[in-house]
Amino acid sequence: MKLQEHKATLSFSNGAPSVELPIYSGTVGPDVIDIRKLYAQTGMFTYDPGFLSTASCQSSITYIDGDKGELLYRGYPIEQLATQCDYLETCYLLLYGELPNAAQKVDFTRRVTLHTMVHEQMQFFLRGFRRDAHPMAVLTGLVGAMSAFYHDSTDINNPQHREIAAIRLIAKMPTLVAMAYKYGIGQPYIYPRNDLSYAGNFLRMMFATPCEEYQVNPVLERAMDRIFTLHADHEQNASTSTVRLCGSSGTNPFAAIAAGVACLWGPAHGGANEACLNMLEDIQAMGGVAKIGEFIAKVKDKSSGVRLMGFGHRVYKNYDPRAKLMQETCNEVLGELGLENDPLFALAKKLEQIALEDDYFVQRKLYPNVDFYSGIVQRAIGIPVSLFTGIFALARTVGWIAQLNEMLADPEYKIGRPRQLYTGAARRDVLPIEQR
């Protein structure tokens, strides 16, 4: 970041002396006012619930311009990465800062591939969960437990440990997600195959059985790879901030990533695509396309409590660039599987059309977001709704690791310690119990 020559001046109407605060600029995006010495100078904190106007760190990984609908990984537009690179190339970019050349791609792919198996004891660990447990509950436990199985790479201050932990997490997450799915439906686990792509291997572990050979459909393989790429990182969102805050205490990488998985589970974050599909199924149960008008009327009525899931975004005030790419993939997958006329997908298309044409949604810039389309694609592939967030966590793992490593390498990083505005009781004395 670059220190600007001009400064911000904070003045007070009560006659207290003004305070000058430094201003820093990044490569692109808004400047920041440095308030690190504000408390020492004034005895006051800033108040910013939800961190709507607070930059908690400096980062060179991902940049979002919500007004323009722009998403960059290390400076590369997501549109180019999703169409010209695969997920493991994107992983390399996020971890190391540059896209790999041919030799680097081969080496990185080999390193990830050789770590896709998990310790056999993980199978017995899984048995402690109920079969009907939510996959995210299972995944949170499995990721956290990796520090018990791979304790040779848990020193967060050792760059070599962080490197091997990164490779292990990227490699093993598809295996763990597939194991959680298989456990829930009572099927045997399928071991990874080293001759398949990252996305192809995941599809095989999900849907193959020992009864017959499984052939990876290249259209579905590309779709999964694109889902992974589009969800690989997304700046300082709730789960990424959680990973950074957790890692700032010095905990091991597996524990920090498990914290991110737990945060991602929320319906306002990674669970949004699950909530979107549940919404579509509710409308279908009401009567389907014929009832869309009635549903939309409820959405517009704030007193109804009905929300339109899968539309709009906290950051994007324009069309989510990932949604355009996911829309293309959605049409490809539905066409490949002959599902263009499936009632639920027809309902989704009609809802999309209304939201894009209705002035109520257009004026509020409630465009379909990536969750709307990715949920439809995953359901078409055969992935249960309850596993959507698990796949999101799989894809986002590399972003979390890259952000964690960047924080640990920052000489300015300290353990996270947000302040508060206390509104409880002032100091008071405890009375004897008979006087209370």
Positions marked catalytic:
313, 371
User: What is the token pair recorded at 99?
Assistant: 């896209």
Burial (CB < 10 A; 0-12, 13-18, 19+), residue 5, is exposed
H or E stretch covering 2:
strand 2-10
Give the Cα separation of 315 and 63 in Å (integer): 11
Give the Cα separation of 14 and 104 in Å (integer): 61
Q: Where are the alpha helices (DSSP H) in 97-235?
A: 102-113, 121-126, 135-149, 159-185, 198-207, 218-230
- Facing residues of 306 across strands? none
Using only C-alpha atoms, what is the Rg of the chain?
24
Q: What angle do CA 274, 88, 67 make, to 5 degrees?
A: 55
- C-alpha closest to that of 85 among 381, 325, 257, 336: 325
Distances (CA, A) of 370 to 5, 221, 281, 328, 374: 40, 18, 18, 11, 6
The DSSP secondary-structure symbol of 311 reads B
Distances (CA, A) of 381 to 14, 72, 330, 340: 63, 28, 10, 13
Sheet holding 19-25, edge to edge: 2-10, 19-25, 32-33
By the 8 A CB rule, do 315 and 365 touch?
Answer: no
User: What is the token pair recorded at 400?
Assistant: 């979390």
